[in-house]
Structure 1
Amino acid sequence: YELARYENGFERDCEAVTADYAARGDGLIDVTNSCRKGAVNGPPDVARGRAKVVAGSGNAKLKVSFFGPFFFGDYWVLDHADDYSWSIVGEPSGRYLWILTREAIPAASVKDGLIERVRALGYDTSMLRMTRHE
């Protein structure tokens, strides 16, 4: 589940955002991002893409494409829990940032701790847009 993000054009008006990843037999990763437009019970919007792991990154950096075979964006795991119950994902320019969790609505202490981790990574937490979930 997406806990928070830096606002971006491709997620405009999205609530109840989820991101699912599945390994493929060819070594790539299927990526399915889903949201509800306008409200947590709004119409669904789904984007499907694929990713490849950047060699030598320890599986922490992906190249992800939702727009065909010729455009891949950077998607870097900046921090994560040992059990992957949460992760903080961004890219080199600092233009995009996501906080992802395994629970739709984590405890307030978890949320606050993640926002503090984002701050410690050097990101502007005032730019975080909290994602609503039911």
Structure 2
Amino acid sequence: MTARAVRKARTLPPLQVAAHVDLEKYMGTWYEIGRYPLASEDGCTEAQATYTLRPDGHVQVINQCLKNGEIKDVRGTAKVVDPTTNAKLKVTFFWPFKGDYWIMKVGPEQEGIGYRYALVGHPYRETLWILAREASLPQETLDELLTLAQQQGYEDLDRMVWRNDGTH
């Protein structure tokens, strides 16, 4: 965590998460509609993540994107750290490093696919993702999610990196 993030964390209220996330409805493939810039995703386009619930209750995570004309992927594991809500997870891609993955909002359910969209963040506002089951979202939904992010203390939303396939 950067010194700036530590200072910011001291002044921000706790990040509010979804009241309850049904993990079964969260599983499946998500398209990354927008995100805060991440070094690990530099040069990536058409990013998506696939989540699979394992028998031990952990979640298998496969992130992939198109980079320099090739599909790149990274695999990890997520563990629920707040079983009351199922909205706070710790994700590990490279042991021993773990990252916070807090689900702030999930969209309405759609039969056969689970939740339609999700807003995911970090308690220190270091990361932010807008995810959807399809490669785009209506502008009204995007505006709602960005407003919620701002209300939760996310600044500089102009720095969002949007899906590079022409949709958002």
Shorter-chain TM-score: which interval?
Answer: 0.7 to 0.9
Tell me the distance in 2 between the aligned counterparts of 1:12 and 1:45. 12
- Count of aligned pairs between the two proteins: 130
Counterpart contact for 2:125–2:153, Cα < 8 Å: no
CA apart distance, 1:112: 2.8
Establish whether residue 22 from structure 1 lines up as the match of residue 39 from structure 2.
no
Give the TM-score taking structure 1 as reference length. Answer: 0.88
| Counterpart-to-counterpart distance in 2, 1:64 and 1:37 | 22
Task: Output the CA distance in 2 between the equivalents of 1:9 and 1:100.
Answer: 19
Which of the pair has more CA radius of gyration?
2
Which residue of the partner structure matches residue 79 of structure 1?
105
Contact 2:82 2:89 (8 Å CA) reproduced: no
The answer as to whether partners of 2:58 and 2:79 remain within 8 angstroms in 1 is yes
* One-letter identity of the residue aligned with 2:137: P
Aligned to 1:132: 164
Match of 1:96 in 2: 127
| Alpha-carbon distance in 2 for matches of 1:101, 1:72 | 24
- Name the % identity: 38
1 CA distance for matches of 2:84 and 2:34? 25
> Root-mean-square deviation (CA), in Å?
1.6
2:66 paired residue number: 36
Q: CA deviation at 1:57?
A: 4.3
> Which residue identity is paired with 1:59?
N
The residue identity in structure 2 corresponding to 1:80 is V
| 1:105–1:133 CA contact under 8 A, matched in 2 | no
- Residue type at the aligned position of 1:129: V
Which has the larger share of strand? 1
Task: Please state whether the residue corresponding to 1:27 is helix, strand or coil.
Answer: coil
CA offsets 1:23-78 (integer angstroms, 9 cap, x no match): 0011111000010015xxx211101000110134410000100002x222111001
Moved more, 4-13 or 105-114: 105-114
